[in-house]
Every structure is written in C-alpha cells, then in structure tokens.
Homo-oligomer: A and B are copies of this chain.
Amino acid sequence: MSMNNLGIVVRNIVRADRAAVDRLAGFGVATIHEAMGRVGLAKPYLRPVYAGAKLAGTAVTVLLQPGDNWMLHVAAGELVDGDVVVAACTSDCEDGFFGELLATSFRARGGRGLVIDGGVRDVRELTEMKFPVFSRAINAKGTVKATLGSVNVPVVCAGAPVSPGDAVVADDDGVVFVPAALVADVAAAAADREAGEADKRRRLAAGELGLDMYRMREPLAKAGLRYVE
C-alpha cells in the first residue's frame, strides 16, 4: 500500500509462468501450502459457492470499496486467458459484489474464477455455469458503482498478501496464493511431498501406527508422555 495505491490500474503485471501454474493446479491446497512452508493460505472463512468448486490461475487483484463493485468491471478489462480475479475490500463488507453477469463477462475474457473477501449472489446460476467462486458470504444485497478502488495493486485477501500475477489455487480445503517467482519450486516441492504420501497411506491402511512410522515414540517419551493403566 502506498499513498498512490487507490484509483489506479496497473497494466504491465508479470504473471507466474503458465506451465508452472498448470503443474501446481494438479495439487490440493493443503499440499501446496505445506510445500511452501505453511504460509500463503487465506483464512478459512473463504468457502466455495458450490460443492466441488476448484480453480487455479494467475491473480488479477482488485481493491474494492465497501458496497461498491465498480472495480470488478474495470478488472474484467484486464483479464487474459488463465487469470483469476482476487478481490479484497478496504473494509469488511459482505455485500453481493458479484453475480452471474460479471461471471459471464469474466469467462468471456479468459477468467477462470473469482476469489473475493466479500459476498456474492446468483448462486444457482454460478453453479449451473460451473464458474468457480470462493467468497466469505452469499448475499443478494446489490452494490453501487461510485467510488474508485484499484486493479493490480498488492492486496491482502482474507488475511493473505497477494501480488498481481501470483498463482492462486482453490479447492474444498481453501485458497492458497503462491508468489509468482516461487511457483515452479512450490510445484516441485508439492510433487515430492505427494510422492511420499502414497507409501505412508499404504502402511497406515495396513494398520501401522504413525507413532512407529514417523518414529514418534522416543520424542514423546522424552517430552514426558506417560501411559497410565
């Protein structure tokens, strides 16, 4: 944020490498955030508008004003194929900033979905369109178009910092943002992590305890755990 961060649309943003984003899209949000070192997650109040919604893409960020969705219309003009709109608000507001018409527009311009720290409406239509949206509320309350925010400035969305061009991945477990420069590395780390899980899953399914598989018994005893009959 700076003294000039409101009322601007930044156009020359550097998007994360598309191929790397697509590799990242193959992993779940929980895996990605673990691969990043447990950072980058939005707060868990962002939830999918319909069960099974998921998305991955590059962030076009929007800073909204409460009760005002003007900047979402501006953002539509900045989308390229593979983008996801990531919208924050200058103060907490659960109005319905977004609905079916904007979804139609976003999709026509290459948009893959929306993550918004605010409310949305037209749930039935969004579900039928299979346009993935992650929001903090469902709210029929409409908004005005009267006050400037910004497009493609760094924002904080649901507690997580996002820069324009960052990768965004969202699924049933939540929403994670990956800095553009790290996407390839995080995808590689996620792949490593997932590779290790198949074997663990098999062993646990066979009844082996995590206590033994992860060699926890000694550190637990050292920490003072006592078994009482």
**A interface list, Cβ under 8 A from B:** 1-12, 28-30, 33-34, 36-41, 43-44, 47, 51-52, 65-68, 70, 73-74, 76-77, 90-96, 99-102, 104-105, 107-109, 119, 121-124, 137-142, 144-148, 154, 156, 159-161, 171-174, 176, 179, 182, 185-186, 189, 197, 200-201, 204-207, 209-211, 214, 216, 220, 223-229
Contacts and interface: CB of A to CB of B under 8 A. Distances in A.
Contacts of A211: 73-74, 76-77
B159 A159 contact: yes
A30 B138 contact: no
B223 A12 contact: no
Contacts of A210: 73, 76, 101-102, 105
A85 to B, nearest CB: 13
Nearest to A227: B9
A207 B108 contact: yes
21 contacts: A3-B36, A3-B182, A3-B186, A3-B189, A6-B38, A7-B224, A8-B228, A34-B142, A44-B139, A70-B216, A76-B209, A77-B211, A91-B141, A101-B204, A105-B205, A108-B205, A108-B207, A109-B207, A121-B174, A122-B173, A138-B172
B90 A8 contact: no
B209 A73 contact: yes
B66 A95 contact: yes
A164 to B, nearest CB: 11
A172 B133 CA distance: 15
A220 B148 contact: yes
A148 B67 contact: no
A22 to B, nearest CB: 19
Contacts of A30: 96, 99, 121-122, 140, 142
Contacts of A220: 70, 74, 148
